[in-house]
Amino acid sequence: MDLFSLLFLYLLSLSIYLLFLRPYPNQPKITGFKSYPLLGTLPEFLKNRHRFLDWTTGVLSATPSNTAVFRRPGKVHGIITANPANVEHVLKTNFENYPKGTKFISLLEDFLGRGIFNSDGDLWRVQRKTASYEFNTKSLRNFVIDTATVEIRTRLVPILEKAAESGRVLDVQDMLERFAFDNICKVAFNVDPGCLGGDGTAGGEFMRAFEEAATLSSGRFMYAFHHLYKIKKYFNMGSEHKLMKSIATVHEFADKIIKSRMEEKSENKDEDLLSRFIGTDKMSTELLRDVVISFILAGRDTTSSALTWFFWVLASNPEVEKKILNELETIRNRNAKRIGDAYSFEELREMHYLHAAISEAMRLYPPVPVDTKACLNDDVMPDGTFVAKEWFVTYHTYAMGRMESIWGSDCCEYKPDRWLENGTGFCRQESPFRFPVFHAGPRMCLGKDMAYNQMKSIAASVMERFEFDVQGDKETSPGHLLSLTLRMKGGLAVKVRERCMG
């Protein structure tokens, strides 16, 4: 469709709207996405895609069931929902009817291939079964805690000490991404890339390539016309040219890891996650590469995103910070620990208020803000919304954290106490369909407990010894970059001070 045809259709639809569809006084209010003849939601989408999360959150909060139909030219039809009953229906009750789907998979296939986050059917089940066996072992749990402890003591703390001495401004987001990248590579592949070594600026080429690949891949979902990225890819132009270059760097890194592990296979059988996948006969070298990239994405981008927003929100909530420090002091005294001593798995489990504070930050700033499935056969949601075959269904985790219908009138406020059982001080388990930060149903995140333990280890160790002075406005939420995860635009700049403990 050329520019003239598009302009003609727009003017025609605008004329029809002004003549027949424009709201008049006393006309009932129409909720949901504003839709135009022929163009559907496209004009509103183009106007608001730079603020997609906040725009769609506003629309969903104004609809009776927090669900709205979304239509664009090119058969891009579907629904976006922030309704827990609908989420449970899609992720659990009618799971088989809602796979990732070919459209979603094709958009991310260049980057993620057919790894566990971008596959369906038997291919997904094989990867899920292989990974779930390892994630359920006590040895992995202990290894994760030990690995994080070493990384905190030998790399993270020294960098923060140097920054405190010199007065240098640190980007917490970048630092946490490097930490998480080193950590997941050790746990999953038995490889130490040393990205947080020295002054914390090593491994820059891969880090930049991975971020760019993730951001540009997710950007394909924001094109006005679904197939436009294929034209740019065919002619190797613009963002698609940058994407292919970034992916080549990521693939080269992953291929090196696989080659190294396969050479050591006989000596290190089943010592890490990758070794177990290598031992699976159904895994080609290409699929192993997809597995590596998926683990890096899961281990690096999600926990670092969650902690970045956690440290930012903590800066404007000193009363929460004080409660966390009091809890840590109580645990230390009870177990005869000194500041700087590593926390055991049992001690991490005692950190109920810290667990609540991190959960509350993820409620408002979920690492994966939206997720999309495809509908195989016509269906009706629990709230009565019809979903046709081949429509998409997006559940909006970011919006769900801001729904009064789920969290009450104070839904936009940061209140960790909402997670505590009345009078007990224990952090309660929330329904994953009200709080789908780690997804839910058969595709529930296998690394949920591992992620919480790692985040609590980092937060406790950092908060006991250091204070972060966030640079800039502490009250206004920073902009975000809608990549495959919710990254903070421009990073989180802080000055570090050593904490004076009385």
Q: 268 pLDDT exceeds 70?
A: no
Read off the pLDDT band of 28 (50, 70, 90): very low
DSSP E strand stretches across 265-416: 370-374, 379-380, 386-387, 392-396
Annotated binding-site ranges for heme: 445
Which pLDDT score, from 0 to 100, does residue 473 have?
A: 79
Tokens encoding 300: 């690096």
Beta-carbon contacts of residue 22 (< 8 Å; ≥ 6 apart): none
Quick one: how many helices (H) and strands (E) in the chain? 21, 11
- Hey, what are 96's tokens? 């088989």
For residue 67, give the H/E element and its range.
strand 67-72
Instruction: Residue count of the chain, please give it.
Output: 502
Model confidence over 203-238: pLDDT tens digits? 678 888 999 999 999 999 988 887 889 999 999 999
3-class SS of residue 71:
strand
Asked whether residue 424 carries a pLDDT value surpassing 80, the answer given is no
Pair of tokens at residue 396: 């909006």
On the question of pLDDT at 142 being above 90, the answer is no
Q: Which of 352, 348, 358 is nearest to 461 (CA)?
A: 348
How do the domains of the chain map onto residue ranges? 20-498
- What is the average pLDDT across 100-128? 93
Binding site: which residues?
A: 445
The answer to whether residues 99 and 373 touch, using CB atoms and an 8 Å cutoff, is: yes
Of 148-152, 244-248, 261-265, 372-376, which range is least confident?
Answer: 261-265
Distance CA 474, CA 486 (A): 19
Position 12 scores a pLDDT of: 62
* Most confident segment among 132-141, 190-199, 438-447, 468-477: 438-447
Is the dihedral angle over the CA atoms 178, 183, 366, 211 positive or is it negative?
Answer: positive
Q: So what's the pLDDT on residue 433?
A: 98
CA nearest neighbour of 446 among 147, 129, 189 = 129
Number of neighbouring beta carbons within 10 Å of residue 421: 11
CATH architecture under which domain 20-498 falls? Orthogonal Bundle (1.10)
pLDDT at 10: 63
DSSP H/E element including 444: none
Whether the pLDDT of residue 139 is over 50: the answer is yes
Q: Percentage of the chain surpassing pLDDT 90?
A: 65
Sign of the Cα pseudo-torsion (418, 422, 424, 428, in order) = negative
| 224 or 202: which leads in pLDDT | 224
Q: Distance (Å, rounded) from C-alpha 420 to C-alpha 424?
A: 7
Q: What is the pLDDT of residue 283?
A: 78
Closest among 136, 335, 468 to 343, alpha carbons compared? 335
Q: Is 121 left (phi over 0), alpha (psi -120 to 50) or beta?
A: left
pLDDT digits (tens, 9 = 90+) for 56-109: 999 999 999 999 999 988 888 999 999 999 999 999 999 999 999 999 999 999
In sequence order, the 6+-apart residues with CB closer than 8 A to the CB of 362 are 306, 309, 310, 437
The pLDDT value given to residue 425: 78
pLDDT digit string, tens, across residues 275-325: 878 877 667 889 999 999 998 888 888 999 999 999 999 999 999 999 999
Residue-wise pLDDT for 455-475, tens only, equals: 999 999 999 999 999 998 777
Contacts for 218 with CB less than 8 Å, ≥ 6 apart = 108, 482, 483, 484
d(CA 393, CA 378): 12
Q: Which helix (H) or strand (E) segment is 497 a member of?
A: strand 493-498
Residue 9's pLDDT band (cuts 50, 70, 90): low
Name which residue leads in pLDDT, 48 or 198. Answer: 48
What is the pLDDT, as a whole number, of residue 26? 46
pLDDT at 281 (0 to 100) = 66
CA distance from start to end of the chain: 69
> If you average pLDDT over every residue of the chain, what do you get?
89
167's CB contacts (< 8 A; 6+ apart) are 495
